[in-house]
Chains A and B, each alone.
Chain A
Amino acid sequence: MVIAAVGEINGKADHLHNMHAWRLDKTKNISHMVTADGLVKTYGKKKEVLAVDGVSFSVDKGEIFGLIGPDGAGKTSIFRMLTTLLVPDGGKGTVEGFDIVRDYRQIRSTVGYMPGRFSLYQDLTVEENLDFFATVFNTTVRENYALIKDIYDQIAPFKRRRAGALSGGMKQKLALCCALIHKPTVLFLDEPTTGVDPVSRKEFWEMLGRLSRQGITIVVATPYMDEAALCDRIALIQSGRILSVDTPAGISGDYPDQLLAVQADNRMSALLKALDKNNDVLNSYAFGEYAHVAVKKEESGMVGTLGSYLEKEGFGRTEIKPVQATVEDCFIQLLK
Chain B
Amino acid sequence: MKSFLAFVKKEFYHVLRDRRVLLILFGMPVVQVLLFGFALTSEVKNTRIAVVDYAKDNASREITDKVAASRYFDIDRNLLSHEALLDAFREGKVKAALVFPAGFERDLAHQGTAQVQIITDATDMNVAGQVTAYLTRIITAYQADRSVPSRNTYQITAETRMLYNPELRGAPNFVPGVMAMVLLLVCVMMTAVAIVKEKEMGTMEVLLVSPMKPALIIISKAVPYLILSLVDLIAILLLSVYVLKVPVRGSLALLMGESTLFIITCLMLGILISIQTASQEVAMLISLVAMMLPTLMLSGFMFPIENMPYVLQLLSDILPSKWYYIIVKMVMIKGAGFMAVWKETAILLGITLLLFGVSLKKFKIRLG
Contact = CB atoms under 8 A, between A and B. Distances in A.
Interface in B160-218: 201-203, 205-212
B10 interface: yes
B202 A119 contact: yes
A80 B368 CA distance: 10
Interface residues of B, number: 24
Contacts of A128: 10, 13
Contact of A86 (B10, B206, B212, B366): B366
A247 interface: no
Nearest to B208: A85
Contacts of B10: 121, 124, 128, 132
Contacts, number: 79
A132 B6 CA distance: 6
B207 A136 contact: yes
B125 interface: no
A121 B203 contact: yes
Nearest to B13: A124
Contacts of A114: 206
B7 to A, nearest CB: 8
B18 interface: yes
A121 to B, nearest CB: 6
B82 interface: no
A137 B210 CA distance: 7
B20 interface: no
A36 interface: no
Nearest to A120: B203
Nearest to B15: A123
A86 B209 contact: no
B14 interface: yes
Residue from the set B2, B6, B201, B209 with the largest chain A CB neighbour count within 10 Å: B209
B151 interface: no
Contact of B366 (A87, A111, A115, A136): A87
B282 to A, nearest CB: 19
A217 interface: no
Contact of A84 (B17, B201, B202, B209): B209
A114 B14 CA distance: 22
Interface string A127-140: 01001110111100
Given A87-B366, A133-B206, 18 more contacts: A83-B209, A85-B205, A85-B366, A104-B366, A109-B210, A113-B209, A114-B206, A119-B202, A119-B206, A123-B17, A123-B18, A128-B10, A131-B6, A133-B210, A136-B3, A136-B211, A136-B212, A137-B210
19 contacts: A43-B368, A80-B205, A83-B209, A84-B209, A86-B367, A86-B368, A113-B205, A113-B206, A116-B202, A119-B205, A120-B206, A121-B203, A123-B18, A133-B206, A135-B3, A136-B6, A136-B211, A137-B3, A138-B2
Interface of A: 43, 80, 83-87, 104-105, 108-109, 111, 113-124, 128, 131-133, 135-138, 178
